[in-house]
Amino acid sequence: MDLDLDRREFLQWTTSAALLSALSVKADAASDDSNGEWRNKRPGVSYRRLGRTNFMVSEIICGGNHVRPDNYRHVVEAFELGLNYFDTAIAYGGGRSQLGYAKALKEVGRENVFLASKASPWLSNRNQQLRAIFESLSEADQGKLRAQAAESLAARKALDDDYLCRYFDAQQPALEASALSAAINAKYGHKVDRPKNYKQVMIDNVHETLTKLETDYLDVFMCPHAANTREDVTDYPEIFEAFAELKKAGKVRHLAASSHSDPAGVIDGAVATDQYSVVMCAYNIVNQAFLQSALEQAKEADLGIIAMKVARPVHHGRANGQPNDPRRVALIQEWMPDQDLHLAQKCYLWALQDPRVACCNSDMVNSALVRMNVPLAMKKA
């Protein structure tokens, strides 16, 4: 597909027979008169309710990993086409993503979008605190903790290739670190200065984020950022204490978590705590079988689900020489064999056929990708 489209070509594409036919597979969107909190509501665009937040979010939302002060115009373009949820994190570009979004927010109006960020340093700081305790233990005690972590990962099938999907090189080490931290915390967690390292780290991250974004509140804040295990969201009540303070101060409206690894475990934990309003997690045609029970739990609990890494296992999409996996490509081609669409577009439509998914996070790095993916949020006939 030629991605170098002008606006006329974009409008022609949104009304093309191929796209209109493909959109028919999507689950029903919210009706235009649905009760809920609406922002940037545009005619012809589909919105869905994001769980208990009651936010009416566009089916495609804007990821922020590549937003920068000198690369944000595509965010404004996405907004003008009906997108209304911007996602960022302090880790993206060393904070430059948030500086880029600050520029975009000045142009579109903060009140017109839902804004989400993440507690990027929280998980690494937690691991560092618990690792220091681990290093002080005897080899025998270390071995027991390692065995517990390995047993937990095996029980969850967390290292299965079709569950892990290996979105980035550091993913498995991060998962294994979280599993080890869970084992250490269960026995030695009382040795950590928890208010300082768990509660205050989250509060400080929110304050830094608000400063960079030049706003006074976030609609959604994710802690942990990139949770890897159920315990990452259940075993640290200091997260909930921090959220209660931030919510009372009007700085954060809803608590969420994000997850690449063992997303079913993270959803299960989020439901169990009854503290989280949203989970943004890896969900795609490759890992789907591992998440079905958890997604039913989320539906029953009215936990909003944002699908991410929807296309990555099928269409690698990063110009780093990594080929697409033919077996995984075949999965999506067999699901939608005849449409004249890009592989990634088919992947997003696959996720949007699921009514338990509110929206898909698309890391649209430029205008070309905005024009490629925004049409997928158009209303079906």
pLDDT of residue 340: 84
pLDDT tens, position by position, 242-273: 999 999 999 999 999 999 999 999 999 999 99
pLDDT tens, position by position, 290-346: 999 999 999 999 999 999 999 999 997 665 567 899 999 999 999 999 778 999 999
Query: In the 8-state DSSP scheme, what is residue 68?
Result: B
Domain parsing of the chain, residue ranges: 1-115+310-381, 119-309
List the one residue out of 2, 66, 45 whose CA is nearest residue 363.
66
| Distance (Å, whole) CA 306 – CA 298 | 11
- What's the pTM? 0.95
| Distance (Å, whole) CA 9 – CA 55 | 31
pLDDT tens, position by position, 199-238: 999 999 999 999 999 999 999 999 999 999 999 999 999 9
pLDDT tens, position by position, 53-108: 999 999 999 999 999 999 999 999 999 999 999 999 999 999 999 999 999 999 99
| Distance (Å, whole) CA 47 – CA 36 | 11
Task: Give the residue carrying structure tokens 């890896």.
Answer: 282
Task: Give the residue carrying structure tokens 């997108």.
Answer: 83
* Average pLDDT over the chain, rounded to an integer: 94
Instruction: For the sheet with 47-49, list strands across it.
Output: 37-38, 55-58, 47-49
